Amino acid sequence: MMKHVLTTCPYCGVGCGFYLDVRDNRIVGVIPSKSNPVSKGYLCVKGWHAHEPVQHPDRLKKPLIKQNGKFKEASWEAALDYVAKRLSQIKAKYGPEALAVCTSARCTNEENFLMMKFGRACLGTPHVDHCARTCHSATVSGLNQSFGSGASTNSYDELPFMDCILIIGSNPTEAHPIVGWRVRTAIDNGAKIIVCDPRRILPAENASIYIQQYPGSDIALINAMINYIVTEHLHDEKFIAERTEGFDELWEVVKDYTPESVKDITGLEPELIKKAARLYATNKRSCIMYSLGMTEHTVGTDNVMSMANLAMVTGHVGKEFSGVYPMRGQNNVQGACDMGALPNVYPGYQPVTDEAVRKKFEDAWGVKLPSKAGFTLTDMMQKAIEGSLKCFYIIGEDQVRTDPDTHMIERALKSLEFLIVQEIFLSETAKLAHVVLPGASYAEKDGTFTCAERRFQRVRKAIEPLSGKTDGEIVCEISRRLGYPIDPDPKNALDEMASLTPIFQGVSFERVDTNGLQWPVPSKGHPGTPVVHLGKFRRGLGKFMPIKNKPPAEVPDEEYPFILSTGRMLFHYNTGTMTRRVSNLLREYPRNFVQMNPADAEQLGLKAQGSRVKVKTRRGELVVAAEVTDKIKKGVLWMPFHFSDEPTNVLTNSAFDPVCKIGEYKACAAKIEKVK
């Protein structure tokens, strides 16, 4: 008898809905859900194959304890007892601040809430963070400063009805395909698309204007657009006067950024910038869509605030059919941030340093909580190397493959006295652990994910956990052993979170059940919020941030004359832990490669596509195949980061944004050599 279990895709932040077909406790297929408000019956190629990794033979099913450098299988009892004993020993010896927890954007909201609570209330450490640090922490900090909320302002359903969509540092066709389909529908409906990207990505083929700026020159580009808009009186004076503050300070900086003056920085003809600025400003329904191409820079926060400036100058925010759409990477990275899996906030972005907020959580949880913000993930790696961080509990993340500068990350994790990794496959990070706890995939648990349009959606258990426990249950069993029992039931966890969080008060399994629910949901009867900042920004007045252009931490020089940028492809997802275990996806792109311009290839003497080349940076080197294409500018290289055997992040730069601590994946200096 076939069972069809309605759930949410575990890959990207779009949040498509599908049924898992289950027969005899085996998941045998995926069928798109026509009634899902996000995907409306469509899926991308990853979604169609989302069932395959779940029961792959490589899945971890038993805990592993390392003895004399080798993993040995252990019972749950033995492994959890051992973990609890080591956590308690390290805490007793060095204090709670020697411990840190990395929660998971792959796990549910409820599990992130439980993990965050475990870290703060049970371990007593302020050091709680997760992988948003390496993708959209710049969005959280940037949009929060400009608008008072660090999430998407509008909804996917508005996209097909836009007049103009400015896509910058984002490739929706490959990285967020079902949103890419909405953009395609907008084009069919007559929308004008502006694509700004150092690579001529697929959306550029259908764009009215394609802008191929140099990596790391986005602030100069946006400031020049604002300069032109104001000079030509295309700005929205009424909106600026009534809804914003700081315009004069912005203009003080932006007045010097004429389109002519940024030609050398951006590599762009002034007329192209003017045309784009006019198109975006003069259309009634204009929005901005961006992603990691804007956030993964040492100026990630500044990039985000620059886009907010552009939206506010033109009045294209705070109303329907406008806004700023940050396309979130992981299935539940929005939710993990929302649940307070960040070092400075509790759920709903309530500051840990606010005494009234802290007291509310202390009263609810019956313990004294840390009164200061903890380390970011970026800081944690440095603290591990320096020796003040002794123990790290990492859940569902493969930092060795995802974080910039692989060798530095390995050094940090090897410096720890105790590393616990909870994973579904033996990742490169798990290989360095002292104990590996086998986690559960999305198909083995109940809960919710929150997608990039702030929509809570249900995740439903299709089969029992292969290891016998969900991630939430594992964390709660450790907590119980440490003398702080936590209820692992996901429904209760969501209710508890909602009761403590003003913007999620009205969220519950029942209300999320059919169509999901877009936050803020401040009360039980509240219908949810498709558009935020209507009539008033969440911070009151929108704040213009005067921002000057700054170059990337590393710029090309004589020794390293290229700019290397990185990104995602349609057929793979992040480190490929799941997609490289799907034969149809692996068949399309089995190995890593570097894209380079034909002129650079000729200069190097490359005769054929696929010739082997060595890419070198100050941190490492990698031999890969060359894909010669005029989609990329001369002097620029691009690589995906999905391939564990040829890991691009040995090359990338761990220099980080000083505000949000995101690493600079999108621009570093590199050189390239022909391999004989």
Minimum Å distance from CB 452 to ligand SF4? 9
SS3 (DSSP) at 28: strand
Nearer to ligand SF4, 15 or 37 (CB): 15
Binding mask 28-47 for ligand SF4 (x = CB under 6 A): -----------x---xx-xx
User: Is residue 570 a contact residue for ligand SF4 (CB under 6 A)?
Assistant: no
For the purposes of burial, counting CB atoms within 10 Å of the CB of 565, is it exposed (0-12), middle (13-18) or buried (19 or more)?
A: buried
503 touches ligand SF4 by CB under 6 A: no
Check binding of 178 to ligand SF4 (CB under 6 A).
yes
Q: Name the residue among 178, 226, 177 with its Cα closest to residue 201.
A: 177
- Note whether 585 binds ligand SF4 by CB under 6 A: no
For residue 441, give the nearest of 34, 3, 100, 5 by alpha carbon.
Answer: 5
Measured distance CA(591)–CA(580) in Å, rounded: 10
Return the SS3 of 141.
helix
State the nearest-atom distance from the C-beta of 631 to ligand SF4, in Å. Answer: 22
Per CB under 6 A, does 394 bind ligand SF4?
no
Q: Smaller CB distance to ligand SF4: residue 31 or 625?
A: 31
Residue 281 or 569: the one with the smaller Cβ distance to ligand SF4 is 569
Distance in angstroms (rounded) separating the CA atoms of residues 459 and 110: 11
Contact flag: residue 100 with ligand SF4 (CB under 6 A): no
Handedness of CA 401, 405, 409, 411 (dihedral sign): positive
- CB 605: neighbour CB atoms within 10 A? 8
Give the shortest CB-213-to-ligand SF4 separation in angstroms: 26
The dihedral sign for the CA sequence 338, 342, 345, 347: positive
Contact call for residue 576 and ligand SF4 (CB under 6 A): no
Dist CA 302 CA 295 (whole Å): 9
For residue 399, give the nearest of 384, 374, 375, 377 by alpha carbon: 377
Among 172, 177, 370, 567, binds ligand SF4 (CB under 6 A): 177
Determine if 54 is a binding residue for ligand SF4 (CB under 6 A): no
| Nearby residues of 130 by Cβ (< 8 Å), 6 or more positions away | 102, 103, 104, 105, 112, 333, 336, 337, 341, 342, 377, 397
How many amino acids of this chain bind ligand SF4 (CB under 6 A)? 14
| Using rule CB under 6 A, residue 327 touches ligand SF4 | no
Residue 171 or residue 378: which is nearer to ligand SF4 going by CB? 171
Instruction: Quote the DSSP letter at residue 123.
Output: I
Q: Which stretch binds ligand SF4 (CB under 6 A): 11-19, 163-171, 370-378, 542-550?
A: 11-19
Residue placing its CB nearer to ligand SF4 in the complex, 302 or 398: 398
- Tell me the residue number closest to ligand SF4, measured at CB: 47
Stretch that binds ligand SF4, among 8-16, 132-140, 306-314, 627-635 (CB under 6 A): 8-16
Query: Least CB distance from residue 11 to ligand SF4, whole Å?
Result: 3
Rule CB under 6 A: say whether 498 interacts with ligand SF4. Answer: no
* DSSP 8-state symbol, 537: B
16, 90, 164, 512: which one binds ligand SF4 (CB under 6 A): 16
Interacting residue with ligand SF4 among 11, 519, 544, 643 (CB under 6 A): 11
CA gap 65, 74 in Å, rounded: 7
Spatial distance between the Cα atoms of 97 and 126, rounded to a whole number of angstroms: 7
Residues that bind ligand SF4 (CB under 6 A): 9, 11-12, 14-16, 39, 43-44, 46-47, 176-178
